Structure 1
Amino acid sequence: DKRKTWCQVWGENEDSASKSTEFHASLIAPEKFDWRNQNWEKWLQRWERYRVASNLARMTSTYQVNMLIYVLGGEADELLDRLGLLEEEKEDYETVVRKLTEHFNGKFNLVFERSKFFARNQYAHEPVEEFINNLHSLAKNCRFDGLKDELIIRKIIQGIQNVQLSESLQVKRYLTLKEVEVRVKQSEMVRKQQEEIRGQIEGKNLDVANKEVQQGHTAARWSSCERCGGFHKNSPCAALRYKCNKCQKIGHFAKVCRMNQNQVREIAADDNESNSGSEYHLQSIKVSAISREKPDIEVTIGGNVVGFIIDTGADVSIISGPLYNSLFSKRFPLSKTDLKLYGAGRHPLQLLGKFKTTLSIKKGRKIEDTIYVMKED
């Protein structure tokens, strides 16, 4: 029969019971007591945990006393002799611990410990959980007894960083320690959630703002009117009823007549700003908004997008006076220039001035350039 008898079961239970009461010497004891700082309460707390976990508490009282004195170190033997205990008292664990506690607490600075507690406030960016735990730890050494919870409540309310919550809790008459801790922890959690939500909303608002800016730039893409040379959106052009004095055709002014289109395509520059007095001729203008041809590229100047013609063989950038007055005069004041430009047949072109700015083109490329403003007849 493989079934166990009652005697066998009883014997096994006896063996397991005896094993559960064995002292586990392999369990590492607390660190040696610091006789200089003499933080007895803290060390004793760790020792009591070790005494229970190692089954030392199940041993005889004499055995426990010997283990305690051994772990405390050689100074403990001398101290035990000075405590004035009777021989039988030296073998009673509870009596020895009580006498040691009275000895060490006699050197305890209660005023200092309480000062640390009342001076403790929540640090900036310190989690409220950490602040509350530290208050409980400090209160252990203050001997507040029955006032402990009430004083911790007052210190939490006075010491938290949230001034509005502190004022709100101060007017409450009856609050338990648990209620106060729950309130301040919930408030911190809600604040963090709101900050996260605000961050997400601000990110979305930034995207919307960027789109509005881009739309604003699109709205600023005005080109000079091919009929009058001015700048207007969808309103009827006044030149529709006028006859051109050059080609005698109705529908545009003489200054924008295509008969003088070649004049824009052949411009020479006389560099009087140098002492050389030499001249050089350009096949066409490098970047120009005065041409009536379809723009090759869109260039951003001061937040406004304008169509321009590109010629890699040119050396100057030029825009018309009406374009400057419409979009750039308020932001970019003109400075005087001695540069002379000549059109076809050495016909001089009158310049109103120049200004320096940043030209932005596609793919984020930016260049610093001088823009010359030409007066139109």
Structure 2
Amino acid sequence: MDLRYVIPHPGPLTVSGDLATNWKNWKRHYENYEVATKLNKEEHSIRIAALRAALGVAGCDVYDGITLSEDDAKSYPVVLKKMEERCVGKINIIYERYCFFSRSQASNESFNTYYEQLRRLIKTCDFKTLEDELLRDKIVCGISDVVLRRKLLQETGLTLDSCISSCRLFESTALQMEKMTLTSDDVAIHAIQNKYKQRKWPPAERGSKMNRGYDGSTPQSEELPKICKFCRKVHVFGRRYCPANGKTCSRCNGKDHFAVACQATVMMISADRIESDEEEDDEVLSFEHMAPTAFRNQPSTGGVHEKTEDSAGRPGRNHARRG
């Protein structure tokens, strides 16, 4: 079976926009396609024809713009090199290195993604033998986690491989610790919420009595448990889910509620307070009956105060005498 009809084709080259970036991406996919289909083992003339066919109409226009001698037109590596010079142009080493050194890890970016981006940028920097050392230095200086950076700086003899291993281990450990810090209460709460969210409620007729809650509303399958005012327990909102439904209260002998949620308790407390207030009023009113009879029956003098003397000749209280 010919694998060329099974493995997907990379598609035509996009010449609009950033041609240099489009060519780099297209070339990477096409090289993988050549290896997978064993097209790289064919003769140069067949590979050149396959390349022109894969470029598409717009890509062939770019191909026709390159200058090739008669011998160069028969060599696939030369054709590919000329095509890259036409699309990418002359590489600006200073700009390519600027893009590499200014690339830092984003806040929500994983280390593997950040590392692959650095590997892609460093290919066009022409660092030669310093490539591994500068890549290691950029990883240490560009990672977003300060704790990890301090740990890497404390290691003596840090190599590129040990730096990559430490970063991956630190990231995986942080994810594991985040899962392990959940308390038992949090786990229980999440389990209850997931249970009620995933539960399939039985269908019921719209507006039916069995499908309505205390306030006449229809319970939703996404609704979470609430504290019921009839049983003081946590359950899904609805009369049929309440354990007090149909039960008799031991305090007031009422229906559909427990004694712990009985409203008669509040009424009894209010009645006791009213009775206590009435007893205090009775005590105040009874003070007049406890006062001396002579004081209660003291005649009025019309609003004019005058001094009186008792039987022993001692001065008494001032009394008002009316005019």
TM range (shorter): 0.5 to 0.7
Contact kept in structure 1, 2:44 and 2:74, CA below 8 Å: yes
1:92-144 CA distances to partner (integer Å, 9 max, x unpaired)? 11111122223333254544433332222222233222222222233234333
- In the superposition, relative to structure 1, how do residues 63 and 173 fare at CA in structure 2: closer, same or farther (>3 Å)? same
Contact kept in structure 2, 1:122 and 1:160, CA below 8 Å: yes
Instruction: Output the amino acid matched with 1:28.
Output: P
SS in 1 for 2:12: coil
Instruction: Output the amino acid matched with 2:66.
Output: L
- In the superposition, relative to structure 1, how do residues 95 and 23 fare at CA in structure 2: closer, same or farther (>3 Å)? farther
Contact kept in structure 1, 2:13 and 2:59, CA below 8 Å: no
Aligned to 1:89: 72
Answering whether residue 51 of structure 2 is matched by residue 68 of structure 1, we say yes
SS in 2 for 1:57: helix
Q: Structure 1 CA distance, aligned partners of 2:268 and 2:107?
A: 63
- Larger relative contact order (CA 8 Å, sep ≥ 6): 1
CA drift at 1:161? 2.3
1:122-179 CA distances to partner (integer Å, 9 max, x unpaired)? 2223322222222223323433333222222111111222213212322444222110
Percent identity at matched positions? 25
Aligned to 1:343: 279
Aligned to 2:162: 179
Aligned to 2:226: none
CA drift at 1:181? 0.9
Instruction: Pick one of 107, 114, 125 that aligns with 1:131.
Output: 114
Aligned to 1:116: 99
Aligned to 1:167: 150
Q: Structure 1 CA distance, aligned partners of 2:41 and 2:51?
A: 14
Aligned to 1:154: 137
Q: TM-score, normalised by structure 1?
A: 0.47
Contact kept in structure 1, 2:104 and 2:142, CA below 8 Å: yes
Instruction: Output the amino acid matched with 1:62.
Output: S
Q: TM-score, normalised by structure 2?
A: 0.54
Contact kept in structure 1, 2:111 and 2:168, CA below 8 Å: yes
CA drift at 1:201? 7.1
CA drift at 1:317? 6.5
Instruction: Output the amino acid matched with 2:37.
Output: S
Name the structure with the higher helix share: 2
Contact kept in structure 1, 2:133 and 2:160, CA below 8 Å: yes
- In the superposition, relative to structure 1, how do residues 191 and 26 fare at CA in structure 2: closer, same or farther (>3 Å)? closer
Q: Structure 1 CA distance, aligned partners of 2:95 and 2:5?
A: 38
Answering whether residue 267 of structure 2 is matched by residue 312 of structure 1, we say yes
1:213-255 CA distances to partner (integer Å, 9 max, x unpaired)? xxxxxxxxxxxxxxxxxxxxxxxxxxxxxxxxxxxxxxxxxxx
* Deviating more after overlay: 107-116 vs 41-50: 107-116
The count of aligned residue pairs is 210
Unaligned runs of 5+ in 1: 1-18, 205-296, 300-308, 320-339, 350-377
Answering whether residue 8 of structure 2 is matched by residue 33 of structure 1, we say no
Instruction: Output the amino acid matched with 2:9.
Output: A
Aligned to 1:143: 126
